[in-house]
Chains A and B, each alone.
Chain A
């Protein structure tokens, strides 16, 4: 802070935030050396999913809601399937559940590989993008591409397509992949796991800003596994809820600047979902290889530095490759590939862990199985208050920086969350104002 101007007042703006999914902007207002206002604006236009789901068949929810996000369609499909199955009081078989988990591992692998190597890492090298980064470290960028490709391969083999998979249906899958098709994933997944281990080592060597934040962590928790595709909701302050419970507790507020809804859990309190939360609450359930990688990378039981989320994401990348291998090796084709889910009147809730955090759905069905009401709460809406709070802290601690550098650091602080603005509109530009 040695060069801070007396009575520093300015606005720093980042219009058209880059390396995130979707359209938004960021604005930081500084008055007399104090950050007064931080706003994450979402100008991704509204798309009205909850409205046009009304009157659709209960079986259409997975394909329609997948279109909310091209980066995490499986998260939408899974939460939708869980909620519809809950409304119709149908339980899926363990084999179907494990195939769903394998598909979800594929999505975690491709999404995390993209975020770590292409969206987040360039910031740590002062690079505009991964193309510039490739000039400094081609092997790292190529490694990211190779891992991502394996994630997409898993999604193609299980889901039929990497973006908006076609093989997912309420109750399970249209067709179970053959043992041979699944067995062919073993070699690529082993390569991806080795590459992911190298990426953990790579990101652990980055320089991280010194910041610790006492987050209220919220994530799914499963009695047996590191929670991905199912579980109850747990928090660092002792919540234990089912999907209905969190749906009742979370309020979404609509504010003027944003086409996304801001979520609060239990009235006032902000909370964090995503890799830091999952790791804080469930790291004991990581596989031995992923746990060893975490320890070697210097992670303790909890990580409170949002910039170090890239290490946690890389550890989860190792885990999702490792877990996919376990599932592949244990694979038994579910027969039949789906359980029948006749549409019945009812209300159902579903929650799963998208790569960027908790995603929950609620559907109300009529007696013909038509959707009467839908509610979709994406991770970025839930994280928005935490993102703004982080921005305030990061900006306040770095006011000595010139506007351009401060703006970039603020962008990086937003990218820590792997925000998906396309999802949240249902979110980013950075600006810093010194008034």
Chain B
């Protein structure tokens, strides 16, 4: 990621593809910092906040959502071309999101399930992350992203340094806050050992297993965790489902979910 020295009042653009709006809402959820952020940048394009739209080029583009239509591909290429830095925010933009569940199925059948006139629907067979189509300067993960991490990324972009975002697992966050391990102590299926930190280990803190909404950590040993989940009594189908949610399109989770998709024993 090459971060240019920052010019005064750089332009910030926020873009949306297939998504729930939650990650861009995270920016509006920075109630204490929002007015300072919009004072430090020029909001050039952010339709959830403003009807004013400026033409590019843009110093920083934040991109939410996954690519699911042919038109999306053209749009993301144009955005990349107009942007000095392009940062993807959230599970949809970084791994295809929950809508990447279609990648395991027949999208024609999906369309027929939801819509009476499938012929009106224009959609691609797969939901794919932004990085599959254009070079991305930084990927911020989470479903939704953590707003403190978002502020760190924006600050880093504005000051021309690399964002400090950890790649370790949720386990370290549990240890940090002193949460008893739900997998070891209670046998609760938990993806914490293979899931990227960033949320603050929210799920184990409410006595539930991590469900992997931040996607795989940097060195995720998913096959070892999957064997442990079987050991604590999780069915193969449930192991497969656990890996197949909001980051179903990320390679590490996809591979494990496919391994346990079939009834035969393996691993």
> A261 near B110 (CB under 8 angstroms)?
no
- Cβ-neighbour of A71 out of B21, B50, B52 (below 8 A): B21
B115, B116, B205 — most chain A CB neighbours (10 Å): B115
> A175 near B206 (CB under 8 angstroms)?
yes
- Cβ-neighbour of A259 out of B21, B97, B105, B121 (below 8 A): B121
> B43 near A48 (CB under 8 angstroms)?
no
Q: Encode B9-22 as 1/0 by CB contact (under 8 A) with A.
A: 00000001111111
Query: Does B117 lie at the interface of the complex (its beta carbon under 8 Å from any beta carbon of A)?
Result: yes
Query: Does B250 lie at the interface of the complex (its beta carbon under 8 Å from any beta carbon of A)?
Result: no
Bound together, the chains give a CA A46 to CA B208 distance in angstroms of: 31
> A256 near B120 (CB under 8 angstroms)?
yes
Chain A residues within an 8 Å CB radius of B17: 45
- Cβ-neighbour of A19 out of B19, B38, B48 (below 8 A): B48
Chain A residues within an 8 Å CB radius of B105: 51-52
Partner-binding segment picked from A101-109, A157-165, A292-300: A157-165
Q: Encode A164-206 as 1/0 by CB contact (under 8 A) with B.
A: 1011010001110000000000000000000000000000000
Known: A48-B110, A63-B211, A254-B117. A161 touches B199 (CB 8 A): yes
Chain B residues within an 8 Å CB radius of A148: 28-29, 31
> B20 near A131 (CB under 8 angstroms)?
no
Query: Does B69 lie at the interface of the complex (its beta carbon under 8 Å from any beta carbon of A)?
Result: yes
Chain B residues within an 8 Å CB radius of A73: 20, 22
Interface residues of A in 1-47 (CB under 8 A from B): 16-23, 44-47
State how many angstroms separate the Cβ of A399 from the closest Cβ of chain B: 22
* Total residues of chain B contacting the partner, CB 8 A: 62
> B50 near A131 (CB under 8 angstroms)?
yes
- Cβ-neighbour of A160 out of B72, B109, B202 (below 8 A): B202
Chain A residues within an 8 Å CB radius of B255: none
Known: A68-B20, A69-B20, A174-B208. A162 touches B47 (CB 8 A): no
Chain A residues within an 8 Å CB radius of B6: none
Query: Does B113 lie at the interface of the complex (its beta carbon under 8 Å from any beta carbon of A)?
Result: yes
Query: Does B23 lie at the interface of the complex (its beta carbon under 8 Å from any beta carbon of A)?
Result: yes
Of chain B, the residue at the smallest CB distance from A162 is B29
Chain B residues within an 8 Å CB radius of A70: 19-25, 144
Bound together, the chains give a CA A411 to CA B208 distance in angstroms of: 43
> B21 near A16 (CB under 8 angstroms)?
no
State how many angstroms separate the Cβ of A200 from the closest Cβ of chain B: 20
> B241 near A166 (CB under 8 angstroms)?
no
Chain A residues within an 8 Å CB radius of B116: 253-254
Q: Encode A141-156 as 1/0 by CB contact (under 8 A) with B.
A: 1100110110010000
Count of A-B contacts judged by CB separation below 8 Å: 177
Chain A, interface size: which category?
Answer: 35 or more
Chain A residues within an 8 Å CB radius of B47: 16-19
> B206 near A18 (CB under 8 angstroms)?
no
State how many angstroms separate the Cβ of A421 from the closest Cβ of chain B: 9
Of chain B, the residue at the smallest CB distance from A55 is B241
A131, A142, A152, A169 — most chain B CB neighbours (10 Å): A131
> A164 near B213 (CB under 8 angstroms)?
yes
Known: A70-B23, A128-B52. A163 touches B144 (CB 8 A): yes
> B49 near A130 (CB under 8 angstroms)?
yes
Known: A145-B34, A175-B207. A57 touches B238 (CB 8 A): yes
Interface residues of B in 188-210 (CB under 8 A from A): 199, 202-203, 205-208
Chain A residues within an 8 Å CB radius of B245: 60, 63-64
Chain A residues within an 8 Å CB radius of B110: 48, 51-52
Of chain A, the residue at the smallest CB distance from B33 is A145
State how many angstroms separate the Cβ of A116 from the closest Cβ of chain B: 13
- Cβ-neighbour of B241 out of A45, A54, A56 (below 8 A): A56
Query: Does B257 lie at the interface of the complex (its beta carbon under 8 Å from any beta carbon of A)?
Result: no
> A161 near B53 (CB under 8 angstroms)?
no
Query: Does B161 lie at the interface of the complex (its beta carbon under 8 Å from any beta carbon of A)?
Result: no
Q: Encode A124-149 as 1/0 by CB contact (under 8 A) with B.
A: 00001111101000000110011011
Interface residues of B in 75-128 (CB under 8 A from A): 97-99, 101-102, 105, 107, 109-111, 113-117, 120-121, 123
What are 11 residue pairs bridging A and B, where the CB atoms are less than 8 Å apart in the complex? A18-B51, A19-B51, A46-B68, A51-B114, A70-B20, A160-B206, A163-B22, A163-B26, A164-B144, A256-B120, A422-B21
> Can you name 18 extra interface pairs (CB under 8 A) apart from A63-B245, A131-B38, A148-B28?
A16-B47, A16-B53, A48-B107, A49-B114, A51-B102, A52-B99, A52-B102, A69-B20, A70-B23, A70-B144, A131-B43, A145-B34, A146-B31, A149-B31, A160-B203, A163-B22, A175-B208, A261-B115
